[in-house]
Structure 1
Amino acid sequence: MNNGPTLVELRALFAIALHRSFRKAADELELAPSTLSHMMRDLEERIGTRLLNRTTRSVSPTQAGERLVEQLRPILQSLDGVLAEIDATRDHPSGTLRLTASETVSTLLVRKVIPVFLERYPEMKVDLVAEPAFVDIVAEGFDAGFRLGEAIPQDMVAVRFGGPSRMLPVASPAYLKGRRRPRTPDDLAEHQCIRSRTPNGRPDRWEFERHGHAMTVDVPGALVLNRTELMLEAALQGLGIAFVPQRLAQPHLDDRSLRALLDEWCPSYSGLFLYYPGHRHVPAGLRAFIGVLKELDASRS
């Protein structure tokens, strides 16, 4: 009888080591955490070696487990590449596409892109993680991510999405009534500003530029939020001036429920990109998703 590990068990061990969590690995593998834990204990008993250190709060590979995981990494990547090539020959991509993006971009994808993609490719699933901080998509097991162009590592392939964009201060007519509109970023000191919080916990500073002159302003305000959508809602409720991506505010600018401020101080930047590792074979599902992105971009231009 063969007591060696199965491919399912090796993939499970790799996922646990990657996520340092039974729950996250179980979510990825679509298994119950208890099933995954039992699988690992059974594997350890059969091979006679402990592979994982377990506590009530964490899990990590033992020295033997770490050696095995490092040997597994290129093998599983190579296997995934072969399976992706086989999948590329299929007329209908299938499987799970794992993506990461900021909360704002995730909202845009859910509204505009993912419905079209899932309708067109019903055998695909999308696992989208909204994450404000930049993550290592290779280490975290994502197929692709979305970020601003200047934030993408040079060894990644980048696909432009959404065209140029910019940050824009906006406020409701109710808030602006009876107040003097700011003419320069310095005038924001006289206003209530709806501030955002950076991933490290500090309130963000607002950046402006005009005729080559850049300014960074530490704006005042009684309200600090950590989600762009909440900042936009607060502005709509008349609580102050919010500094948000124009693409998110545009519907409210169009119906005049919000007004743009300091327009000439808000230049465009390169915009969003989908990015993925350049050294990997591109799975059929990701290629199909990129095709939908490009098609929707072309229809907007």
Structure 2
Amino acid sequence: MRPLRLDSLEIFVDVVRCGGFRAAALGRGVSSSAISQSISALEEALGIRLLNRTTRSVAPTEAGERLLERLSPALHDIRTAIDDLNQLRERPSGTVRINAPGPAADHVLCPLAFDFMKLYPDVDVEIVSDAAIIDIVEQGFDAGVRFGNQLAQDMIAMPLGPALRYALVASPEYLRHHSRPDSPSDLLQHDCIRRRFPGGTMETWAFEKDGEEVEISPQGRLTLSSAYHERQAAMAGAGIAHLLEDYVRDDLAQGRLVELLVDWKKRLPSWFLYYPSRRHTSAAMRAFLEYIRRREWPAVGR
């Protein structure tokens, strides 16, 4: 049996996590052929196939699944042991990997990370923009960002940013040809720009006024999956969009968009940064958490 290289085990985990050789190679800064050779050498050393390969996808075999189940905690223990040495350094080092929806990454997480990296030059930050609900531990992330009601019970969560509100907007051009809605139910007669989430479900629009809550399923000809594209569509007069205020604040101020049903705004919880309660937290991640705890978030008015 050929000698087993420990780094090939970590490469195997990367290939499964990334879903293919090319993505794993990009993450490691090497060629796809180098990744393929490492996996082939690992399979030869173990005497068993670990991955099923097709022209379009790579998936673990039953043996690969079993190995992955044991490897993930073992590799984490190795990283923890190395990180323990990091505590002896004057400055934290390492990588912080965070999974977050696009809006949270755009307006809260990225600005925080940029300032954090200036204070901690030895820490690398990787932010993956993804709206799907995932297992951050299984996918190799240190933390994730979601709304409070989307968090698993075994996670520690902390507020990330102020409370949120959506704005209902349309262009002046659209309103020249359509009457303004006076209530949420009027929106059912309008061309609304709909959003489909990664899991396939359609977004519903929630409103609140004087204790009355209303939720509608918007109707319209255009369906998108990106807040930026929805904003572009609204600017082009394609319909009414339902977007977080951060995306349209400047457009409203400049008159490029007009806000509708202002008195029906529903206030939402803030984003939450969450991380596993049963997992060792690296020095780099602890520094990031402490940086967030020191922040003071502005209040959002009614």
Give TM-score, length-normalised by structure 1: 0.87
Show the counterpart of 1:229.
228
Counterpart of 2:166 in structure 1: which amino acid?
Answer: M
Show the counterpart of 1:60.
59
Change (3 A) 1:17 1:263: same
Deviation at 1:83, TM superposition (A): 2.2
C-alpha separation between the residues in 1 aligned to 2:276 and 2:62? 29
Report whether the alignment pairs 1:81 with 2:80. yes
Deviation at 1:206, TM superposition (A): 1.6
Counterpart of 2:12 in structure 1: which amino acid?
Answer: L
C-alpha separation between the residues in 1 aligned to 2:109 and 2:91? 22
Report whether the alignment pairs 1:298 with 2:292. no
1:108-127 matches, cutoff 5 A? 108-109=107-108, 112-127=111-126
**Over aligned residues, Cα RMSD in angstroms?**
2.6
Counterpart of 1:275 in structure 2: which amino acid?
Answer: Y
Change (3 A) 1:95 1:31: farther
Change (3 A) 1:60 1:201: closer
Counterpart of 1:260 in structure 2: which amino acid?
Answer: E
Contact 2:92 2:122 in 1 (8 A): yes
Counterpart of 2:296 in structure 1: which amino acid?
Answer: A
Show the counterpart of 1:160.
159
Report whether the alignment pairs 1:147 with 2:146. yes
Q: What do the CA deviations read for 1:240-297 (whole angstroms, capped 9, x no partner)?
A: 22101123222333334333222222221111011111111212222233344344x4
C-alpha separation between the residues in 2 aligned to 1:189 and 1:150? 28
Deviation at 1:113, TM superposition (A): 2.1
C-alpha separation between the residues in 1 aligned to 2:240 and 2:62? 53
For the residue of structure 2 that corresponds to 1:298, the secondary structure is: coil
Show the counterpart of 2:244.
245
For the residue of structure 2 that corresponds to 1:238, the secondary structure is: coil
Q: Which range is displaced more, 257-266 or 224-233?
A: 257-266
Deviation at 1:62, TM superposition (A): 3.8
Show the counterpart of 2:275.
276
1:24-43 matches, cutoff 5 A? 24-43=23-42
- The number of aligned residues is 299
Q: Which range is displaced more, 35-44 or 51-60?
A: 51-60
Show the counterpart of 1:44.
43
Deviation at 1:111, TM superposition (A): 5.4
